[in-house]
Amino acid sequence: MLIRFTGVSHHYAGSTTPVVRDLDLSLTEDRIGVIGANGSGKSTFARMLNGLIVPSQGTVTINGLETAGDGREVRRQVGFCFTDPDSQIVMPTVAEDVAFGLRRRGLSKAEIASRVTAILTAHGLQGYEEHPAHLLSAGQKQMLALSSILVTDPEILVMDEPTTLLDLRNTRRVVAAINAMRQNVILVTHHLDLLADFERVLVFDESRLVFDGLPDKAIEHYLGLME
């Protein structure tokens, strides 16, 4: 994995105030955390990683692909998991939702069915294939959202506060899933304890990257900002 932000700033339509500004950054680690107060720019940063947001100035490249011009290919390499899994569930049943992302991959029905079964089994959703997706529990929905992304086998997974709406038990399920993934993971979170074993943590404040380092030092810096 090689992610590069070069001279990146972004402001939304109708505003001249950047929500991310003057960002120059290279990312190569397997596990990267992103922390900061609400409105600090961290979620905008996360959405720029797979082209959901294109920077107003500068460039973002993923393994040499520029998000502004190669968005479709970037999104094949970078999966994105939102805070609220309901925003990602698009099909009526669990199996259909997981299969949805495979339909344009040129796979046979048998191969799709095999991949769906394998990913649901891996994430504790076996037996729920025909269950209405929107009637799952909150924890099950988050595991379904993860399954629907991981079945397409992206290289990188960006997760924007995936445990915010979950209780402790389901938070632990998501954390266990993250730990078991082969993908590079970039995790935006307010749950600082999740980052203890990460290789690198970025701290955003008032639209700028203000600290970049090991988890303990990054969390110490962030907590200092909050005092």
**pLDDT tens per residue, the chain (227 residues)?**
999 999 999 999 888 899 999 999 999 999 999 999 999 999 999 999 999 999 999 999 999 999 999 999 999 999 999 999 999 999 999 999 999 999 888 899 999 999 999 999 999 999 999 999 999 999 999 999 999 999 999 999 999 999 998 999 999 999 999 999 999 999 999 999 999 999 999 999 999 999 999 999 999 999 999 98
Per-residue pLDDT at 104 = 80
Entry pTM: 0.95
Name the residue range of residue 78's domain: 3-226
Q: How far is CA 9 from CA 49, 88, 161, 184, in A?
A: 13, 27, 22, 24
Determine the Cα–Cα distance for residues 227 and 213; give it in Å rounded to an integer.
20
Quick one: pLDDT at residue 227?
Answer: 86
Four-residue CA torsion sign, 96, 100, 104, 106? negative
Cβ(222)–Cβ(35) under 8 Å?
yes
Q: What is the structure's pLDDT at 52? A: 95
Q: How many domains does the chain have?
A: 1
* DSSP one-letter string for 132-197: BGGGS-HHHHHHHHHHHHHTT--SEEEEESTTTT--HHHHHHHHHHHHH--SEEEEE-S-GGGGTT
Helix (H) or strand (E) holding 21: strand 20-27
Can you give the pLDDT at residue 2? Answer: 96
Q: List the structure tokens of 104.
A: 């344009």
Whichever domain contains 160, its CATH number is: 3.40.50.300
Residue with tokens 């991959």, as numbered in its chain = 105
Question: How would you label 85-119 residue by residue, b for 16+ Cβ within 10 Å and e otherwise?
Answer: beebbeeebbbebbbbbbeeeeeeeeebeebbeeb
